[in-house]
Amino acid sequence: MDKFIYVDNAATTRLKPEVLDEMMPYLTEEYGNPSSIYKYANNSKIAIDCAREKIAKAFNAEPKEIIFTSGASEADNWAIKGIAYSLRKKGNHIITTKIEHHAVLHTTEFLEKQGYEVTYLDVDENGLISLEQLEAAITDKTILISVIFANNEIGTIQPIKEIGEIAKKHGIYFHTDAVQAVGNVEIDVKDMNIDLMSLTAHKVYGPKGVGALYVKKGVKLYPFIHGGGQEKGRRAGTENVAGIVGFGKAIELATTSIAEKVKKISELRDLYIDTVLKEIPYVRLNGHRTQRLCNNANVSFRYIEGEALLLMLDMAGICASSGSACTSGSLDPSHVLLAIGLPHEIAHGSLRISFGDFNTKDEVYYIVEKLKGIVSRLREMSPLYENVERK
């Protein structure tokens, strides 16, 4: 068989067989609509309640604080637009960061066109925001602070509990996109003072197209999808029963024995990072050295085009991701890499490897071997590199 190594787990993950097993009945014989009143449909309703309880428990939330959505993009949109519209009378100022996912950034840009004011906090060279800058940005018009829990490109984990404390002290709602943190970090919404939190199933070995917004009791949000009375009238649309069941199972698996998994996966990450930094010249690691996701390795190779690198890795059977937004049809380098201060030409030569539960050490050795060859071949073709070599 052809080589196939999947190290793009920050983009999506493989469905776990245990998750599929739990979903199967709801894709086959248990097709009742949870809103129907006959007994047959009751199983669908119970399955949803059970998933809701599992998810709530994983984050120390109450079941009624978990509202199912189509994923994290919807949850991010809803949290931000929802608070913005609900609190319009109180204020029009939102604080977020320069390194959010586009589901947040494009939402705040949309709100700016409607008269909202948005502060985009800087991050330092490791990708961390400054708590002082955050507190200084708060005005009497501030209604929401939205900070990504752990960054999807460079893996940096923010001081979420401290941010929650600042938000609470000033009586401002705190939203976090926790997609990448789930299963990597213990999350306790009460302890961390989180008011709203976006989640998705497909980044933790669950199905695509299902996620949730955690909304703390007492937080008033306009419904985002209008229609039927599902989710207590807060999110209309017939529930994705099988998806929700799979989501529940995936979260349960992802949040049990986190420490063990983190240990195993960070070993792969560190093996990869250490070998690449040691064996390939003109390389830098992006993101915080220690305050980072256990599965994330983002490095920049000077004198290299990230897209060429990805294509050659693909030919070697390796699925990875670059630091540029090229996949979305633009050639601009990643806003995250620019925010940590990388010049365009270095940001362009970036490679994100994100490990997962299915990866092995042998795969890491194979990736590094291939990378060494590919990087030196690409550099041989680069006129910039030729100049460096001559000096």
Which residues does the annotation mark as catalytic?
Answer: 326
Secondary element (H or E) of residue 272: helix 258-279
What's the closest the beta carbon of residue 213 comes to ligand PLP, in angstroms? Answer: 11
**Closest to 80 in 3D by CA, of 185, 166, 200, 198:** 198
Identify whether the C-beta of residue 116 lies closer than 8 Å to the C-beta of residue 84. yes
What's the closest the beta carbon of residue 283 comes to ligand PLP, in angstroms? Answer: 24
Nearer to ligand PLP, 265 or 304 (CB): 265
What's the closest the beta carbon of residue 389 comes to ligand PLP, in angstroms? Answer: 38
**Closest to 177 in 3D by CA, of 123, 104, 122:** 104
Nearer to ligand PLP, 71 or 349 (CB): 71
Nearer to ligand PLP, 103 or 244 (CB): 103
How many other β-carbons are positioned within 10 Å of the β-carbon of residue 305? 18
Nearer to ligand PLP, 293 or 375 (CB): 293
Q: Which residues of 343-355 are buried (b: 16+ CB within 10 A; e: fewer)?
A: eeebbbbbbbbbb
What's the closest the beta carbon of residue 346 comes to ligand PLP, in angstroms? Answer: 23
Give the integer Cα–Cα distance in Å for 163 and 169: 10
What's the closest the beta carbon of residue 150 comes to ligand PLP, in angstroms? Answer: 8
Q: Which residues bind ligand PLP (CB under 6 A)?
A: 71-73, 101, 103, 148, 152, 177, 179-180, 200, 203, 211
Nearer to ligand PLP, 345 or 357 (CB): 357
Dihedral through CA 355, CA 361, CA 367, CA 371, nearest 10?
Answer: 110
Q: Which two tokens stand for residue 133?
A: 């800058």
Dihedral through CA 52, CA 54, CA 59, CA 64, nearest 10?
Answer: 30
